[in-house]
Each structure stands twice: as C-alpha cells, then as structure tokens.
C-alpha cells in the first residue's frame, strides 16, 4: 500500500512538472484550419483560410478591421510570418482593448506596424485609437531596410513588463518602455481604404506562435529607447550610458543660474515633476533660471515638458556667462497658438522646438500635442558639432555650429553682438523661468565621445 502511495505521488509530481510551461515552449495561436479562438472587431474586411494561411482582404468604405484573439495576453513573446501587398498598410495589435465605454468599442492599443511604403516604418510601434506614434523609425533609421517587399517577413515581438521590443527578419527595430496597457488581445489588422483605392489587396499570415511562460528576454540591443515612464531609466538606457540629469525628487545637481543654491521660491518639486511657477497678480515668483552644476560638451539629452496655456520657457545648452547674463543655445518651449513670441523673429524661428531666434523648427502635425499634454523633447550635440532638435519622435531641425550657415543665422539674430555665441566647447544646461507655468520630468543625458 505504501509503495502504491509513493508511485501515485510520483505520478502527480511528474504531471505537475509537465503542466508548467518551460522556457522556449511555443503555443500556436492559429491552427491553419479554422478561426477557433478568434473574432472580428471593427470593420468588415474579409478574413479567411487558404492553404493553411490566414488571409486578410481589403474592403472599401469600412473602418480598420481586426481579427482578434478571444484570449488576452500580458507578458509574452510572439512570432509571426507575413506577406503583404506592397501598396497596403497593416499591423499587428498587441495588448489591445475594445470596450463599449471607450469610443463605443473602438479597438485601441499598441500596434506593430506593417509598412511596405517608401516611408519604411515596419516594426515601429503605433498606439491605435489613442496617442498615435510612440516609436517611429526615424529614431532607428538603420532598421528601415529590415522589411522586404513581395517576400515573407518574420516579426518577433517581446512584451515583458513595461518593455515592448520588436524585430523584423532578425533586425532590432523598436524598443518602447510604456505603462499604458499591461494586458489585452492580439489582433491582425486590415487597414481601411478609401473608395478611390482598389479593394481586394491582401495580407497573409502564417506560423503565428506565442510563448507566455518563463520568458527569457533577448539581450539588450544598441538601439534608441523611447521611455514614457516618468523619471525611469530602463536597463537598455543604462547600457547605452544614460543617467538621470534630474533625479525626480530633489534639487541635487542644479542651482540658480545666478548663485550656488537652488531657488527657495518659484520652483516646485512634487510627485516626480519639476515645475516653474507662474507669476501671480503681476508679482514675479522670483525663482529665476536654474542650471546644472556640471558642464557638458557632446551629449544626447532627453526631457519631457508640459506647457500651460500661453506659456513660454526654454531649455538652454552651452550656457556660459556674458556680461552677467547666462546665455546659450535655446530649445524653445512655447505655446505657439497663444504666445505672441511665436509670430516674432524670422520665419518662425521662435516657435516650439526651434533654436530660439536662429533656426526654425520644421514640425509635422504628428509632432504637435495639445497644451497640457506631456511632450518628449531631445537635443543631440554630436562630437563633430552637428546639432539636432527632436520633438515627440520627429527631428525638426539640424545645423552645424561651425558652418557658414550657422554664422549667418547668428549675424541676423539678437545674439550678433555676443562674441563666440553658441561656440563654447562645453557649457551648463539651463531650464528657463520666463514667468509662466511649465513642468519638466524624465530629464536624462548620455555623454558622447
């Protein structure tokens, strides 16, 4: 009797081990025979099975269509092979939702792009029905060649915690750190088309498989990271050499521009946000500009900022003192619609993300957010003196500090009588107090050699 009991325990233990998902264990999401476990959401594109493949076909005058898993997934590794008509647009939804209370059931959530057009953003990450582009391939232009037209392409998507990473044909494409949605369905999209475009174009999927247990993330790749989690440094950002320039909780590393202590008034640090206060009833908040204690030469600086209506501020770099004033190149932070400074200067060179009074930002509509929403800015100063300004994932200007063109910009600006303006080999970074309420967070820097 005792031996039978031991055998029974042994069998139960073995069955339990077998039931646990092992590292690298794949589950097929599509069986190649029917659509059990899937449902149609959104539009009325045609989804059918041909030769063991899932085929989606465009239909005119219908919204974006999604063939969605009935099951929701949180952390997973997904692989799929796909072949798309070169004149079509499509995508793979992950951690996505469709709830009646949100725009009457509109599908929304992360989408991994399938883009055979000349733009070549395949593998980028779009937020369908919500925030728009989160990671476009202007941030990783080397990956634009990963996707191939008229052949099968293999996608790999890793969603583990707040990290979403994509590969196309083995090439790393996007890395997003974001906490908007932790769980949702997976869906294959057929994009809507206008009546002017021919219907009947197809996207085909096969070998759709997923891992959900004991996930092992791929080794860090040396590609740009978009991180929307406030004041967070991801593992990959650390491996690339980033550090927090503002720690999210104290004034450490910052002082007033005109003395060696942080302002007692005019600035607040609360809930991970550094804010300059608005002047009240005609009385200045008496905060003044703040600067880093350290100087920087070549660097990549990422920062989030949020405007209030009609606000004006700026982030200055290569800041040095001239005749008692802290001067430097300025990334303009401005409400272009409500602040009069946007209409001054030359050809818009005082608008949002411009190099103030020197080089105008060439913004596209997708780079512009509403006042009150958080923006992601970036300044790149390369060792060869090339400088770039970015706004919400789009490069909006570039110049070379040693070029004749830059000298011409200086000659027609308010800085024309400042000797060597913008040409310092190093300088401090400054956040401007212009008397308006503006907030900052996630200020990160990596120094370039």
* pLDDT tens string 54-78: 999 999 989 999 999 999 999 999 9
State what percent of residues in the chain have pLDDT above 90.
88
Residue with the bigger pLDDT between 215 and 1: it is: 215
pLDDT for 250? 97
Give this prediction's pTM.
Answer: 0.91
Predicted pLDDT of residue 285: 58
Which of 9-13, 32-36, 179-183, 324-328 has the lowest average pLDDT? 9-13
Angle at 308 between CA 305 and CA 314, to 5 degrees: 45
Q: CA-based angle 84:76:159, to the nearest 5?
A: 80
**pLDDT at 20 (0 to 100):** 41
DSSP-derived 3-state class of residue 359: strand
Mean pLDDT of 226-230: 98
| pLDDT(7) > 60 | no
Q: Bigger pLDDT: 162 or 322? A: 162
Token pair belonging to 41? 């959401």
Which stretch of 180-184, 217-221, 353-357 has the lowest confidence by average pLDDT?
A: 217-221
Whether residue 26 contacts residue 210, with contact meaning beta carbons closer than 8 Å, is answered with yes
Q: Which of 1-10, 80-89, 133-142, 146-155 has the lowest mean pLDDT?
A: 1-10
> Is the fold of 23-226 the same as that of 241-447?
yes
pLDDT bracket for residue 195 (50, 70, 90): confident
Handedness of CA 291, 292, 293, 297 (dihedral sign): negative
CA distances (Å), origin 358, targets 137, 323, 329: 28, 21, 9
pLDDT at 14 over 80: no
pLDDT of residue 277: 93
Tokens 């770099």: give the residue: 317
Q: What is the pLDDT of residue 194?
A: 87
pLDDT at 3: 46
pLDDT band at 19 (very low <50, low <70, confident <90, very high): very low
Give the architecture-level CATH label for domain 23-226: Sandwich (2.60)
pLDDT at 24 over 90: no
Mean pLDDT (whole number) for 426-439: 96
User: What is the structure's pLDDT at 321?
Assistant: 80
Angle (CA) 159 162 168, round 5°: 35
DSSP string, 75-120: SEEEEEEEEE-TT--EEEEEEEE--TTTGGG--EEEEEEE--STT-
How many percent of the chain have pLDDT more than 70?
93
Query: Has residue 16 got a pLDDT over 50?
Result: no
Name the residue among 125, 172, 135 with its Cα closest to residue 394: 135
The per-residue pLDDT for 15 is 38
pLDDT tens digits for 77-118?
A: 999 999 999 999 999 999 999 999 999 999 999 999 999 999
Q: What contacts 315, CB < 8 A, 6 or more positions away?
A: 301, 303, 305, 330, 331, 333, 377, 379, 429, 430, 431, 432
Q: Checking phi first, is residue 104 left (phi over 0); if not, alpha (psi -120 to 50) or beta?
A: left
pLDDT at 32 over 90: yes
Q: How far is CA 391 from the centre of its chain?
A: 10
3-state secondary structure of 213: coil
Tell me: the pLDDT tens digits for 359-383? Answer: 999 999 999 999 999 999 999 999 9
The pLDDT value given to residue 180: 97
Mean pLDDT of 290-301: 98
Residue-range domain boundaries for the chain: 23-226, 241-447
Determine the pLDDT at residue 283. Answer: 61
pLDDT at 172 over 80: yes
The pLDDT of residue 247 is 97
Apex 224 CA angle, 356 and 391, nearest 5: 25
Rounded distance, CA 210 to CA 77, Å?
Answer: 6
**Confidence category of residue 1, pLDDT binned at 50, 70, 90:** very low
β-strand pairing of 38-42 with 65-69 = antiparallel
**Whole-number pLDDT of residue 13:** 36
Across residues 395-408, what is the average pLDDT?
A: 97
Asked if residue 233 has pLDDT above 90, the reply is yes
Residue keyed to tokens 């096969």: 206
pLDDT at 254: 98
320 three-state secondary structure: strand
Q: Does domain 241-447 have CATH number 1.10.760.10?
A: no
Confidence tier at 197 by pLDDT (50, 70, 90): confident
pLDDT value, residue 8 = 39
pLDDT of 179 reads 97
pLDDT of residue 12: 38
User: Residue range 184-205: average pLDDT?
Assistant: 93
Give pLDDT tens digits for 246-273. 999 999 999 999 888 999 999 999 999 9
Residues forming a β-bridge with 126: 111, 133
């Amino acid at each position: 009797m005792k031996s039978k009991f031991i055998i029974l325990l042994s069998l139960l233990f073995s069955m339990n081990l077998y039931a646990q998902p092992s590292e690298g264990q794949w589950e097929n999401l599509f069986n190649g025979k029917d659509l059990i476990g899937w449902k149609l959401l959104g539009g009325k594109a045609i989804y059918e099975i041909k030769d063991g493949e899932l085929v989606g076909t465009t239909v005119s005058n219908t919204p974006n269509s999604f063939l969605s898993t009935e099951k929701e997934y949180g952390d997973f590794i997904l692989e799929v092979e796909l072949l798309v008509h070169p004149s079509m647009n499509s995508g793979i939804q992950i951690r996505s939702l469709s709830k009646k209370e949100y725009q009457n059931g509109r599908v929304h959530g992360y989408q991994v792009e399938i883009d055979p057009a000349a733009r070549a953003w395949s593998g980028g990450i779009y937020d369908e029905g919500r925030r728009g582009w989160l990671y476009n391939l202007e941030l990783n232009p080397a990956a634009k060649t990963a996707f191939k037209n008229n052949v099968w392409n293999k996608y790999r998507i890793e969603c583990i915690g707040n990290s979403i990473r994509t590969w196309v044909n083995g090439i790393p494409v996007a890395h997003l750190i974001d906490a908007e949605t932790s769980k949702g369905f997976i869906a294959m999209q057929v994009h809507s088309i206008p009546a002017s475009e021919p219907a009947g174009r197809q996207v085909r999927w096969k070998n759709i498989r997923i891992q959900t247990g004991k996930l092992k993330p791929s080794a860090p790749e040396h590609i740009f990271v978009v991180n929307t989690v406030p004041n967070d440094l991801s593992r990959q950002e650390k491996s690339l050499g980033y550090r927090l320039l503002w720690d999210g909780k104290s004034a450490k590393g910052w002082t007033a521009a005109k003395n060696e202590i942080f302002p007692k008034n005019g600035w607040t640090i609360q809930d991970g946000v550094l804010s300059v206060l608005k002047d009240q009833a005609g009385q200045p908040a008496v905060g003044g500009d703040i600067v880093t204690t350290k100087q920087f030469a070549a660097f990549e600086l990422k920062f989030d900022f949020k405007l209030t209506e009609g606000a004006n501020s700026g982030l200055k770099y290569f800041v040095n003192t001239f005749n008692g004033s802290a001067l430097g190149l300025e990334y303009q932070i401005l409400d272009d619609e409500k602040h009069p400074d946007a209409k001054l200067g030359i050809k818009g060179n005082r608008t949002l993300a411009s190099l103030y009074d020197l080089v105008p930002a060439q913004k596209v509509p997708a780079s512009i957010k509403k006042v009150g929403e958080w923006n992601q800015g970036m300044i790149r100063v390369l060792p060869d003196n090339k400088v770039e300004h970015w706004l919400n994932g789009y490069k909006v200007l570039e110049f070379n500090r040693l070029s004749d063109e830059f000298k011409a910009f200086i000659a027609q600006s308010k800085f024309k009588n400042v000797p060597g303006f913008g040409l310092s080999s190093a300088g401090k970074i400054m956040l401007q107090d212009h008397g308006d309420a503006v907030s900052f967070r996630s200020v990160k820097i990596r120094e370039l050699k």
